Amino acid sequence: MASDTLTSSARTDAEITGLDALEIAGRDKEVSRGARIWAATWPKLAALAIAIAAWQIVVWTGWKPPYSLPPPLEVGRELVAQAQGPQLWDGLVTTLQRAALGYVFSVAVGLLLGLAVARSTVLRAAIGSMITALQTMPSIAWFPLAILLFELSEKAIFFVVVLGAAPSIANGVISGVDYVPPLLKRAGRNLGARGLNLYRYVIAPAALPAIVAGLKQGWAFSWRSLMAGELLVSGISQTSLGAQLTYSRELSDAPWLLSTMIVILVVGLVVDAAFGAADKAIRRRWGVLDQAGQ
Amino acid sequence: MTSTTTTPGSATTAVALSGVTKVYGRGTNAVLALDGVSLDVAPGEFVCLVGASGCGKSTLLNLVAGLDQVSGGQITLAGDANPGLMFQEPALFPWLTVDANVEVPLKLRRLPRAQRRERVAELLRTVHLADFGRKRPHELSGGMRQRVALARTLALDTPVLLMDEPFGALDAMTRDILHDELERIWSERKLSVLFVTHNVREAARLADRILLLSSRPGRIIYSTEVNIPRPRRIDSPEVAAIAAEVTERLRTEVGRHGQ
């Protein structure tokens, strides 16, 4: 070990700093917040305008009588009127409570099940493919059985919501854990993360994108199952959004029916947007977001 | 199956392998990856392990790092050393900032927060990345990422560094500079390094001693001391002469498989 290593170190310092500056240059790109939001918003607004225009044109053609297909303006007025009364909000609260309860329970079941299957080869052989099979089962096909087991009750809806959502969430966890790069696991173990710490410091965060994808898909399934359930099991509750769809159809109240559908659509979009934001935040942190796009 | 053993208190060697054998698979499918490899790394020594592809270089480092179990023989590490391992890829955690990556081994050792922060800053200064702690790995160049990985490995406070072609994926310019960096850190911290590479010049540039590992099965077939004074340049005639000598041996070894 020669001590004159140090004499060359000042030069090396300059070289390193210079090289870093050259390689990093041009990587930071700032776009103003307002411009970003506008860029993300205007295509959505344009699409919405086109959809409403198409709807209005179909109404004008007289393809269906106005009592079965009302024009957008009339549905808009109904929506405003609904928003002022308690009925819509009661329905929304009832439905969202069911959704939250069913979803939270599905998340708990899905995460535990996914983790158990990912860890145990015996469990994987036993039920791994069954989880995928469950996932492909249309949730509405569960209702006859659910009604036999629990009658026309909240429990029947809950049962189907969980069966719809939990397998997707479990599958997200399984594929997330499966696809953790072995190199990261080796690095983690070498840094001293063993057993539970390996899960905490390496596997769980590395699996997060797939887990979020599973959670998002699980939400979509649980929301669909819930709507199907509320349509079928409408007798037990006057207020839920699904029940309001059924009643509005029975009363041939097309504006009410369509305004309720819009509310259902908006709820779905809002939750989806929340998952989308979470997914994007993760991808940005990980550096897998295309810098030119978005 | 003999497992990796750690014998404390042997002062003359930092890493000692005696008759290490590694077999993958069983029965007729069994592949002998390493066949009775014996080697020592003295404290503060820089040993380069050179070999053609498929010679079990990476297998050997995994065994020394305790990430895999030997099939036979013994690996002895001085003191309580838990050797640090670096790979060809930086293997940084993409969900963490540079700071947080370097902090992981410190957290796992349950150092208090204030101490961790101090150590992270000191380690990033060591690899000349003091200003980049808040960046994420993907915002850095390949050479910078590899330096973060080096800082993270140094955070283990281990006297033994195992390196698995750590500069293999870098361009020549960056690699030259990182050689200078690694040499400086090695001599400042008095590390014992076992450095695997297929780049003979790199080995001649860095090593106190070069070992040549044969292919299938891996066996040490040649060893040479490199007595060129430091600091060295990779393009110096002395380094080139040693590299030529080792390359000759390596070619003979590769040719043996073509017959």
CATH superfamily of A76-285: MetI-like (1.10.3720.10)
- Closest partner residue to B108 (CB to CB) among A13, A197, A282 is A197
What is the Cα–Cα distance from A285 to A276, expressed in whole angstroms?
Answer: 14
Segments of B119-232 assigned E as strands: 160-164, 192-197, 209-213, 220-225
Residues B6-35: pLDDT tens digits?
Answer: 444 446 889 999 999 998 888 888 888 888
Contacts of B181 in chain A (CB under 8 A): 12, 16
What is the Cα–Cα distance from A62 to A58, expressed in whole angstroms?
Answer: 7
**Between A and B, how many residue pairs show a Cβ–Cβ distance under 8 A?**
109
Closest to B17 in 3D by CA, of B66, B58, B73: B73
CA–CA distances in Å: residue B254 to residues A218, A243, B115: 55, 77, 50
Top residue of A15, A28, A191 to mutate, by most chain B CBs within 10 Å, is A191
Interchain pair A12, B105: CB under 8 A: no
Closest to A266 in 3D by CA, of A102, A106, A95: A95
Tell me, what's the pLDDT at A145? 92
pLDDT-derived band at A44, boundaries 50, 70, 90? confident
pLDDT-derived band at B4, boundaries 50, 70, 90? very low
Top residue of A190, A200, A282, A285 to mutate, by most chain B CBs within 10 Å, is A190
Residue entry with tokens 């020669």:
A2
Closest to B14 in 3D by CA, of B47, B49, B56, B55: B47
Cβ(B65)–Cβ(B109) below 8 Å: no
Interchain pair B87, A186: CB under 8 A: yes
Q: Mean pLDDT throughout B147-164?
A: 94
β-pairing verdict for B72-77 and B15-24: antiparallel
Tell me, what's the pLDDT at A280? 87
pLDDT-derived band at A289, boundaries 50, 70, 90? low
Residue B255: Cβ-neighbour burial (10 angstroms; 0-12, 13-18, 19+): exposed
Contact partners, residue B158, CB within 8 Å, separation at least 6: B81, B82, B83, B84
- Closest partner residue to A19 (CB to CB) among B85, B96, B174 is B174
Closest A-chain CA to B44: A1
Local structure of residue B233 (DSSP, 8 states): -
The CA distance from A175 to the nearest CA of chain B, in Å, is 18
Tell me, what's the pLDDT at A292? 40
Contact partners, residue A94, CB within 8 Å, separation at least 6: A237, A239, A240, A241
The CA distance from A167 to the nearest CA of chain B, in Å, is 26
Closest to A168 in 3D by CA, of A131, A120, A127: A131
A97 touches chain B (CB under 8 A): no
- Peptide bond before residue B217 is cis, with ω within 30 degrees of 0: yes
Give pairs for A230-236: CB < 8 Å, separation 24+: A230/A95, A230/A98, A230/A157, A232/A143, A232/A147, A232/A152, A233/A147, A233/A152, A233/A153, A233/A156, A233/A157, A235/A152, A236/A152, A236/A153, A236/A154
Please state at what angle helix A241-250 crosses helix A254-286, rounded to 10 degrees.
Answer: 150
What is the number of other CB atoms lying within 10 angstroms of the CB of residue B13? 17
- Of A270-274, B8-12, B120-124, B188-192, the one with minimum mean pLDDT is B8-12
Q: Interface of chain B against chain A, CB under 8 Å?
A: 44, 62, 65, 67, 82, 84-85, 87, 89, 91, 93-96, 104-105, 107-109, 128-129, 132, 136-141, 143-144, 152-153, 155-156, 173-174, 177, 180-181, 183-184, 187, 229-231
A51 touches chain B (CB under 8 A): no
Q: Mean pLDDT throughout A52-59?
A: 94
Tell me, what's the pLDDT at B11? 61
Q: Is the model's pLDDT at A5 over the cut of 80?
A: no
Cβ(A215)–Cβ(A169) below 8 Å: yes
pLDDT, chain A, mean = 87
Tell me, what's the pLDDT at A213? 92
Contact partners, residue B107, CB within 8 Å, separation at least 6: A201, B116
Interchain pair A8, B180: CB under 8 A: yes
Contact partners, residue A227, CB within 8 Å, separation at least 6: A241, A242, A264
Query: What CATH class does B1-83+195-259 carry?
Result: alpha beta
Residue entry with tokens 């200064």:
B125
Which pair of tokens denotes residue B100? 């947080």
Give pairs for A274-279: CB < 8 Å, separation 24+: A275/A212, A275/A215, A275/A216, A275/A219, A276/A216, A278/A212, A279/A209, A279/A212, A279/A213, A279/A216
Interchain pair A192, B82: CB under 8 A: yes
- Peptide bond before residue B231 is cis, with ω within 30 degrees of 0: yes
Tell me, what's the pLDDT at B218? 80
What is the Cα–Cα distance from B135 to B235, expressed in whole angstroms?
Answer: 34
3-state secondary structure chain A: CCHHHHHHHHHHHHHHHHHHHHHHCCCCCCCCHHHHHHHHHHHHHHHHHHHHHHHHHHHHHCCCCCCCCCCHHHHHHHHHHHHHCHHHHHHHHHHHHHHHHHHHHHHHHHHHHHHHHHHCHHHHHHHHHHHHHHHHCCHHHHHHHHHHHHCCCHHHHHHHHHHHHHHHHHHHHHHHHHCCCHHHHHHHHHCCCCCHHHHHHHHHHHHHHHHHHHHHHHHHHHHHHHHHHHHHCHHHCCCCHHHHHHHHHHCCCHHHHHHHHHHHHHHHHHHHHHHHHHHHHHHHHHCCCCCCCC
The CA distance from B187 to the nearest CA of chain A, in Å, is 6
Q: Where are chain B's structural domains?
A: 1-83+195-259
Burial A11-31 (b: 16+ CB within 10 A, else e): ebeebbeebbeebeeeeeeee
pLDDT, chain B, mean = 88
- Of A145-149, A223-227, B32-36, the one with minimum mean pLDDT is B32-36
Q: Which helix (H) or strand (E) holds B100?
A: helix B98-108
Top residue of B138, B148, B154, B233 to mutate, by most chain A CBs within 10 Å, is B138
Q: What ipTM was predicted for this assembly?
A: 0.88
